[in-house]
Amino acid sequence: MGHRIGGRKLSRKQGPRLALYKNLTVSVLRYERIQTTEAKAKEIRGRGREMITLAKRGDLAARRAVIAEFPNEPLVVTKLFDEIAPKYADRNSGFTRIVHLGQRSVTQPRSSRSSSSDEARDVELNSSAEQSADAQGSVDAREGVLVR
């Protein structure tokens, strides 16, 4: 019976698995969008939510807790408190969104993009613009321009 066993092992021992989670969380906070497998994206969703909630508090104890979690990432800590937390000040949850991208190949796991909610909304708007522009030509997703 698997009662009270939470989380995913991802075929790793505890140390490398926790390092992977921390690195993925830093990447999501730094770049606000990463592409990874669905299982990894689901696993880091809660870790990112916890860091954003601490940053929304904004007090010294919260800053020290985030610094303790990411001691070698001062730029990420600064971005978290100065840019990301004010953006989500009026939101209680739903800081991250997982967009399913499909399988990479037949034998590999499903790929997903984990991003902040505002970034995901921009991606959805761009993809709807791409679909509407398909009648006229194709849209280059990297530059957002119409290519005929």
Give the pLDDT confidence of 25-52 residue by residue, as tens digits: 999 999 999 999 999 999 999 999 999 9
Contact 115, 28 (CB under 8 A): yes
**First-residue to last-residue Cα distance in the chain:** 58
Residue 62 lies in a domain: yes
Percentage of the chain with pLDDT > 90?
57
- Confidence check: pLDDT of 141 > 50: no
CATH code for position 108: 3.90.1030.10
Model pTM score: 0.74
| Span 111-139, average pLDDT | 60
Residue 129 belongs to domain spanning: 14-147
Residue 35 lies in a domain: yes
Residue 140 lies in a domain: yes
- Confidence check: pLDDT of 142 > 50: no
Residue 34's pLDDT is what?
Answer: 92
Residue 40 lies in a domain: yes
Residue 103 lies in a domain: yes
Residue 1 lies in a domain: no
Q: How far apart are CA 24 and CA 16, in angstroms?
A: 12
| Span 99-103, average pLDDT | 86
Structural domain count of the chain: 1
Contact 139, 130 (CB under 8 A): yes
**Residue with the two structure tokens 């299982």:** 39
Residue 8 lies in a domain: no
Residue 120 lies in a domain: yes
More confident residue, 130 or 54: 54
